[in-house]
Amino acid sequence: MPGKDEAFLKRLLATFRVEAAEHIAAISSGLIEIEKSSSPEQHAEVIERLFREAHSMKGAARTVNLVAIESLCQSLESVLSALKRKEIAPARELLDLLHRSVNVIEGLLSNVGKEDAPSGMEMIRDFVRELDEAVKTSPRQEAKESGERVAEQQPEARTPAVSPVTAETMRVSKQRLDSILLRTEELLTAKQAAGQRASELREIREVISSIRKGWTKNLLDMRAIERASKKRTAVSSATDLRLNKLLSFLESGSNDISVLYDAVIRSGKAAESDNRSIAAMVDGLLDEVKTASLLPFSYLLEIMPKIIRDLSRDRGKEAELTIKGGEIEIDRRVLDEIRGPLIHLVRNSIDHGIEKPEERAAKKKPLAGAVKIDVTLKEGKSVEVLVSDDGAGIDTALIRNAAVKAGLLSKKEADTMDDRKLLPLIFRSGLTTSPIITDISGRGLGLAIVQERVEKLGGDISCETAEGKGTMFRILLPLTLATFRGVHVRVDDRHCIIPLTGLDRTVRVRRDQINTVENRETISVEGRAVPLVSLGTVLELPRKKKAGPGPVYMQAAVLGSGEQRIAFRVDDIVSEQEVLVKDLGSQLVRVRNVSGATVLGTGRVVPVLNVSDLLKSAVRLSPGAEARITAEEAPAERKSVLVVEDSITARTLLKNILAAAGYDVQTAVDGVDAFTALKTGKFDIVISDIEMPRMNGLDLTAKIRSDAQLAEVPVVLVTALESREDRERGVEVGANAYIVKSSFDQSNLLEVIKRLI
């Protein structure tokens, strides 16, 4: 029985997490709605809604014995109740406190069900006290006229209202729904197999029809021979007997072939009928199950207003978010995968794009920056997401310098490359234009990860910018995962699938129409020279030697991303078909040029190609590109690190971490001690605390930057100071990175050091 009780509790906690997440999202959205509205009537309506959400979450937490969440919800409910009665006003400070309380509940929720999770009571004690004090000390609104105030009733346990919509719905776990969808999608293989069998029977029918015609003709010829032989008197009885047996065999075989032919026709018609029925049922079932897995984009976008609000406050900026197309539905699995990339782009809009109010005022812009998310449906098979802002735009000069510094371009290439070709470099790993590395930005990995996640979904991302006017990221996503339309191509005896989402067109070109431009083969597509490469060469497949000059015509698949187009030569374009893609398993998480595999109707397993990887691999084959591909460098000599920290515990911890990572480490107890060490020794990087006796970390950094011999030494500040003002001071004195101790992670520290030296 204990096992059953434990399993039941786990299921109950899982249900609570889902329900509580919905309450948290609703409360966060409501608080932002109050901030944006000045209508008392609308305030009253929203506050009533928030009160019910908090009350319901409190009751649910009590059911699963989560005392910390229940206590915080109780205090939250008390504040909302006072707001309902208009005993206190929704001042900005009070709304900030409510937002922080919701964040704490969200943090507690993430620990629900974890065995080693703390109870959370210590975490929420201060918030409970602050919320209780807020009811007593917040500014009072003017009392309503006598008789207008309604006595507060004791809250009752909320029973969900049953409407015609909710009465016909039920909650299904994501895992179960995903399992049903995957099993349904696998029926696509059965559908293709049925189509293949019907096709094979058609081929058999044609073969038997040909045999039947030949057999009938031979039988007629044999009868003519028989008639001629009977006119000759020299034919022996033995020969006559053998001739009669042969005629009997041919007549019997002719009848058997006719019977077989009729049977194949009947089987072929039945297979065609079964194929149509299976195809209709599978397509219908797949559409229904896919529809059940669709969610509106608003499911993902509802968290964006809070993200923008919190980050804007933290960065001392003002920003307003506009969302369009939130009602468009897309596969939930796509939404789950794109959540991180979208959040990163939105945070980038605030962190890098939107200027501070005083800067916007100087540029005669509205003080509050505009961030927009537009979602539109494209041709019923894909979704376009635009994330834009009206901020400062991307400084291409900074990109040029950063690209040279990161080794992505030579100085000559950077100086001659136009902005349109330069901009895609922002998606390259290691490139950053941020003046300092923080917990938000500056590592040069964010946009590279965004691109990787988008391309993993079979999508595409590009960027447009105008200096001083803003930046826009354009993301193209498939409506669903797993199944898509693809083109089946052949290279020698190798078969593979190219997704239609990355295919511009297929072409058939005469060999004498292939031109050479800058030592590279090209073909003309709509009057534009497009590079031509062999798909087999890009995939590094062994090529078979072929005798003779080869066919007059050749076939190619033109692939593209943004404005880039490259033609890939293939031996045959077999067909276009629906494809069920499977990943390659944990042993092959990432294979260059390949995104997965599929099973054809014939039972053959073939790879599904990654269009983005193919384009990158093809570019590397261009003349001169090999020279830019750096070989693996020889092991570098050990780098030297100076750790500046007055706490012996923190100093020892940092020293051990860095020494274990292969660095030579020297320590200093404060800024004076550190500067003396810097003047007498050679160090590749300085890791420093801020708050120290004699000379603090900020003064040390400023002194390093003012010294001609030390000015280029990277400085990383590792500190407990985490306010926006503290980070800005770090930027002002010239620190290269700012790491907050409360979110310290040794892997992040090592990654930052590796990036800086």
For residues 316-342, average pLDDT: 87
Is it the case that residue 382 has pLDDT exceeding 70?
yes
**Least confident piece of the model among 241-255, 375-389, 404-418:** 241-255
Q: What's the pLDDT at 149?
A: 34
Q: What's the pLDDT at 385?
A: 93
- H/E stretch holding 380: none
The pair of three-digit structure tokens given for residue 338, joined into one six-digit string: 């794109």
Higher per-residue confidence, 551 vs 435: 551
d(CA 265, CA 204) in angstroms, rounded, equals 10
* Distance set, CA 93 to CA 16, 35, 98, 99 (Å): 30, 11, 9, 10
Q: Phi then psi for 465, rounded to 5 degrees?
A: -150, 155
Residue-averaged pLDDT of the chain: 78
* Beta-bridge mates of residue 606: 598
Q: Is the dihedral of CA 505, 511, 516, 520 positive or negative?
A: positive
Q: Phi then psi for 710, rounded to 5 degrees?
A: -110, -5
d(CA 701, CA 687) in angstroms, rounded, equals 10
The answer to whether 641 and 687 have CB atoms below 8 angstroms apart is yes
Q: What's the pLDDT at 159?
A: 32
Which percentage of the chain shows pLDDT scores above 90? 9
Helix, strand, or coil (residue 245) = helix
**Does the reported pTM lie above 0.75?**
no
What domains lie within the chain, and their CATH numbers?
Answer: 2-142 (1.20.120.160), 175-292 (1.10.287), 320-478 (3.30.565.10), 483-542+551-628 (2.40.50.180), 640-756 (3.40.50.2300)
Q: What's the pLDDT at 117?
A: 53
What is the pLDDT confidence band of residue 605, given thresholds at 50, 70 and 90?
confident
For residues 291-296, average pLDDT: 78
What is the pLDDT confidence band of residue 562, given thresholds at 50, 70 and 90?
low
Is it the case that residue 473 has pLDDT exceeding 90?
yes
Q: What is the pLDDT of residues 713-732, one digit of tens each?
A: 999 988 877 777 777 788 88
Is it the case that residue 154 has pLDDT exceeding 50?
no
d(CA 618, CA 558) in angstroms, rounded, equals 12
The pair of three-digit structure tokens given for residue 54, joined into one six-digit string: 């908090």
Q: What's the pLDDT at 659?
A: 86
**Least confident piece of the model among 146-155, 371-380, 411-420:** 146-155
Mean pLDDT highest for which of 166-175, 312-321, 404-413?
Answer: 312-321
For residues 258-263, average pLDDT: 79
Q: What's the pLDDT at 440?
A: 53
Q: What is the pLDDT of residues 441-470, one digit of tens each?
A: 555 557 877 888 887 787 888 888 888 899
